[in-house]
């Protein structure tokens, strides 16, 4: 049974000394944020950003999350969690809250907070900074915590199951189909990012591979050899991971060993598919939880070192607060500041994928209800801090260097001279010789048009780390460390996502035959794991063998799909408040839901119908089709052009489908709100489970 510890209380009053301390923290954050928001034309220190972010997160966690825990959600440690009531040693396992925090943070922190803010930096540093800070406090962390508690009080049910039970069969069916389809796309995209990050990096491949046996040993140690000895396992587990990180650099320098880990993309894809299947089937305590826990140390440790490096070096922010690309003419990607800045930042402020983890593996591990505050709200604040670090990594670059790395070859051309002319046309200075020296210093052959955000992040991290430690002689080492860090960062989201996908597949299969829905059944687990892995694995492999096929054809949907999923989660959370007799707290999730719907529906409509072919899927397909009809496409490019036309029309159709499914869920939820508020408040499943 869970320990009957008093539930967290909302702060009614503070002792004078504490009140003075928190007043100073809030004032320092307000001043720092004011400097960031009002600076125009002059360079400001990155320190202002760090102080503002830390102060905002501290105040939000201390006060707003405490209000959510005590007043809105009434967390009660006397209420046994599913990990105790349904303990099975496989999926439902009472787990130390720090291990759960590590697992949850590692599972939710994927490529979004790393690359999204970097790409959105083309609008300037100010829009991204403000949205990352206030979006997470009022939206993203609230979503994660409320969905986690909602699932916790419903025996760890998935988001789709909760929608079906609390909103109704119509919304439930739309949610199950939409969420599962979005999940397949998200995992496929994540897997492709991992393949691209690990390709050509034996150091990264070795380090990531080494975390698997280390995690297995930790799992056995904490559950079988020395049960509950988390600190002991943490000490030697983290030590071994650090050894693996250092050994990876040595392996990369040894030709005989390098060959074992310098894999081609097909081999990497197959290895990821196999790993995803195994991680989904094995007991969560044996591989998934300890590996994510270890990865969290590397993730948080690296981000902390990056913050320390920024505080030590105190580089100035060189990107302007706002650029002229807010009108949609940006060279990195097309689209106006609203809505595309917020769609691009995505996970750094709000992420629908988090709701799947919060209603997947995490609620089955929590030892006490009060742990949901630290795990749900706290882990999302940490991910937001990662996004701030990524944004600063881009913002401290010279603007010309930033655009040289992130703008595509279609804008810059294929030479440094053509890039210099193009960047000058954008209004920024660019020194080809200095850029060539930077490329050489990180050990790359070319950094020109290395789009996607990840290479830019690695360069920014390498510059900050080398400025603080080692100078230019170690810049290449830091660059490859950053590449390894990115691969490890994303991989933990893939394995947790696959396990969550297995739960969702079992939800669907259980409607056909009840035994297939039992998570305690090994045959059912094997079948569901195989189906979800085949789903995203097919798209991944096709994307690897065909640059225009597979998940590559669905890549543009990543941001919109993720944010539409967040809208589904927020609509569900609002329903839980209304049906649970707590409608007065419904605004906590209804307001971010209204914002997110305006952003995602606007972005989806523009991606389908916008006349600018750089934005609209159909406009691009029609333009290429017209070129084909006019015979303007070279014969050797005809097949490729037809594939691009098909991909754009497919993307338009899938976007429209996702928008329609989310609209069904939200409208059905609104029907439930109206019906409940007009009559006597219905008791939700949360209260029934908690009784």
- At 242, list the tokens: 């650090």
> If we measure between CA atoms, which residue out of 565, 562, 560 comes closest to residue 651?
560
pLDDT of residue 689: 33
> If we measure between CA atoms, which residue out of 170, 209, 651, 152 comes closest to residue 360?
152
Residue 130 burial (CB count, 10 A): 15
Whether residue 656 has pLDDT greater than 70: yes
Query: Which percentage of the chain shows pLDDT scores above 90?
Result: 48
Measured distance CA(684)–CA(662) in Å, rounded: 22
Of the listed ranges 3-17, 343-357, 642-656, the least confidently predicted one is 3-17
pLDDT of residue 573: 97
Average pLDDT of the segment spanning 411-440: 92
Of the listed ranges 105-114, 288-297, 340-349, 546-555, the least confidently predicted one is 546-555
pLDDT of residue 35: 95
Whether residue 1 has pLDDT greater than 60: no
Up-side HSE of residue 340: CA atoms within 13 Å toward CB? 26
> If we measure between CA atoms, which residue out of 565, 137, 591, 661 comes closest to residue 355?
565
What's the alpha-carbon Rg for the chain, to the nearest Å? 24
Of the listed ranges 327-331, 436-440, 515-519, the least confidently predicted one is 515-519
Give the pLDDT confidence of 216-267 residue by residue, as tens digits: 888 888 888 888 777 888 888 888 887 887 888 788 888 888 888 888 888 9
201 or 625, greater pLDDT: 625
pLDDT of residue 680: 56
The segment with the largest mean pLDDT, out of 84-98, 128-142, 634-648, is 128-142
pLDDT of residue 431: 94
Measured distance CA(356)–CA(503) in Å, rounded: 10
Average pLDDT of the segment spanning 85-89: 90
Whether residue 462 has pLDDT greater than 50: yes
Whether residue 565 has pLDDT greater than 70: yes
Q: Please say whether the beta carbons of 121 and 402 come within 8 A.
A: yes
Sign of the C-alpha dihedral, residues 202, 206, 207, 209? positive
DSSP 8-state code for residue 585: G
Give the pLDDT confidence of 171-211 residue by residue, as tens digits: 888 888 888 888 888 888 888 878 877 777 787 788 888 88
pLDDT of residue 8: 52
Task: From residue 119, give the alpha-carbon distance in Å to each of 242, 332, 520.
Answer: 30, 7, 43
Up-side HSE of residue 322: CA atoms within 13 Å toward CB? 12
- Res. 339 pLDDT band, cuts 50 70 90: very high
Whether residue 488 has pLDDT greater than 80: no
Q: How far is CA 538 from the centre of its chain?
A: 22
Q: Bridge-partner residues for 44, per DSSP? A: 317
Q: How far is CA 667 from the centre of its chain?
A: 27
- Res. 2 pLDDT band, cuts 50 70 90: very low
Whether residue 75 has pLDDT greater than 90: yes
Give the pLDDT confidence of 578-616 residue by residue, as tens digits: 999 999 999 999 999 999 999 999 999 999 999 999 899
Please tell me whether the peptide bond between 364 and the residue prior to it is cis, using omega within 30 degrees of 0.
Answer: no
Q: How far is CA 465 from the centre of its chain?
A: 24
Domain boundary assignment for the chain: 16-199+263-406+475-690
**Which residues have C-beta within 8 Å of that of residue 530, sequence separation ≥ 6?**
277
Residue with tokens 């070096």: 313
- The string of DSSP codes covering 14-74 is --HHHHHHHHHHHHHHHHHHHHHHH--SS-EEHHHHHHHHHHHHHHIIIIIHHHIIIIIS-
pLDDT of residue 550: 60
User: Mean pLDDT in the chain?
Assistant: 87
pLDDT of residue 289: 77
Of the listed ranges 67-76, 351-360, 471-480, 544-553, the least confidently predicted one is 544-553
Q: Please say whether the beta carbons of 110 and 98 come within 8 A.
A: no
Average pLDDT of the segment spanning 271-299: 84
pLDDT of residue 493: 80
Give the pLDDT confidence of 48-63 residue by residue, as tens digits: 999 999 999 999 999 9
pLDDT of residue 90: 81
Measured distance CA(42)–CA(147) in Å, rounded: 43
Query: Which percentage of the chain shows pLDDT scores above 70?
Result: 95
Query: 16-199+263-406+475-690: which CATH architecture?
Result: Orthogonal Bundle (1.10)
- Res. 555 pLDDT band, cuts 50 70 90: low
Of the listed ranges 122-126, 478-482, 601-605, the least confidently predicted one is 478-482
**Which residues have C-beta within 8 Å of that of residue 315, sequence separation ≥ 6?**
45, 46, 396, 464, 467
Whether residue 477 has pLDDT greater than 90: no
Whether residue 444 has pLDDT greater than 80: no
Average pLDDT of the segment spanning 25-33: 95
> If we measure between CA atoms, which residue out of 75, 61, 670, 685 comes closest to residue 368?
75
Residue 590 burial (CB count, 10 A): 18
pLDDT of residue 22: 94
Whether residue 315 has pLDDT greater than 80: yes
């Amino acid at each position: 049974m869970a320990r009957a510890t008093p539930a967290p209380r909302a702060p009614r009053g503070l002792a004078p000394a504490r009140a003075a301390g928190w007043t100073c923290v809030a004032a320092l954050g307000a001043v720092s944020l004011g400097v960031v928001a009002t600076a125009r034309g002059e360079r400001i220190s990155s320190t202002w950003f760090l102080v503002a972010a830390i102060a905002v997160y501290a105040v939000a966690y201390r006060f707003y999350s405490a209000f959510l825990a005590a007043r809105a959600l009434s967390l009660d440690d006397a209420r046994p969690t599913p990990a105790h009531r349904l303990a099975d040693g496989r999926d439902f396992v009472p787990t130390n809250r720090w291990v759960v925090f590590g697992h949850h943070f590692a599972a939710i922190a994927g490529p979004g907070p790393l690359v999204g803010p970097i790409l959105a930096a083309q609008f300037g540093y100010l829009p991204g900074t403000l949205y990352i800070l206030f979006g997470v406090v009022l939206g993203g962390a609230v979503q994660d915590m409320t969905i986690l508690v909602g699932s916790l009080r419903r025996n760890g049910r998935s988001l789709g199951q909760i929608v079906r039970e609390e909103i109704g069969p119509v919304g439930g069916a739309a949610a199950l189909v939409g969420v599962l389809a979005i999940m397949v796309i998200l995992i496929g995209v994540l897997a492709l990012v991992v393949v691209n990050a690990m390709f050509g990096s034996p150091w990264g491949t070795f380090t990531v591979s080494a975390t698997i046996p280390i995690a297995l040993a930790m799992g056995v140690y904490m559950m079988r050899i020395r049960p509950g000895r988390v600190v002991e396992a943490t000490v030697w587990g983290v030590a071994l991971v650090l050894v693996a990180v250092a050994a990876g650099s040595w392996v990369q320098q040894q030709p005989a060993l390098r060959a074992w880990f310098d894999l081609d993309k097909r081999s990497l894809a197959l290895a990821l598919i196999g790993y995803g299947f195994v991680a989904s089937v094995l007991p969560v305590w044996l591989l998934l939880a300890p590996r994510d826990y270890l990865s969290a140390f590397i993730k948080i440790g690296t981000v902390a070192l990056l913050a320390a490096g920024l505080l030590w070096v105190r580089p100035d922010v060189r990107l302007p607060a706002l650029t002229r690309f807010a009108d949609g003419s940006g060279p990195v990607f097309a689209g106006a500041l609203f809505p595309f800045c917020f769609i691009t930042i995505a996970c750094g402020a709000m992420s629908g994928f988090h709701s799947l983890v919060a209603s997947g593996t995490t609620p089955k591990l929590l030892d006490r209800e009060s742990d949901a505050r630290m795990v749900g709200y706290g882990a999302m604040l940490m991910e937001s801090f990662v996004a701030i670090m990524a944004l600063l990594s881009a913002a401290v670059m010279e603007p010309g260097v930033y655009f040289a790395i992130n703008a595509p070859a279609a804008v810059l051309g294929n030479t440094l001279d053509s890039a210099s002319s193009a960047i000058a046309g954008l209004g920024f200075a660019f020194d080809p010789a200095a850029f060539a020296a930077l490329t050489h210093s990180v050990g790359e052959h070319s950094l020109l048009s290395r789009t996607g955000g990840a290479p830019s992040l690695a360069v920014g991290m390498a510059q900050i780390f080398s400025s603080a430690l080692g100078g230019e002689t170690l810049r290449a080492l830091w660059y490859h460390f950053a590449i390894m860090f990115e691969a490890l960062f994303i991989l933990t989201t893939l394995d947790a996502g696959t396990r969550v996908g297995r739960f969702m597949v079992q939800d669907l299969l259980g409607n056909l035959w009840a035994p297939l829905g039992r998570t305690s059944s090994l045959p059912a687990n094997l079948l569901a794991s195989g189906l979800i892995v085949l789903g995203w694995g097919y798209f991944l492999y096709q994307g690897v063998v065909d640059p225009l096929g597979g998940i590559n054809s669905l890549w543009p949907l990543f941001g919109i799909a993720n944010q539409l999923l967040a809208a589904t989660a927020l609509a569900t959370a609002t329903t839980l408040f209304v049906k649970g007799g707590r409608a007065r707290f419904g605004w906590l999730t209804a307001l971010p839901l209204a914002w997110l719907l305006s952003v995602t529906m606007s972005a989806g409509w523009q991606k389908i119908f916008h006349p600018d072919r750089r934005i609209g899927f159909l406009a691009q397909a029609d333009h290429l089709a017209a070129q084909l009809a006019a015979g303007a496409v070279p014969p050797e490019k005809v097949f490729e052009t037809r594939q691009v036309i098909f991909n754009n029309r497919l993307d338009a159709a899938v976007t429209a489908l996702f928008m329609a499914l989310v609209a069904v869920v939200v409208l059905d939820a609104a029907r439930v709100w109206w019906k409940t508020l007009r009559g006597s408040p219905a008791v939700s499943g949360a209260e029934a489970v908690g009784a």
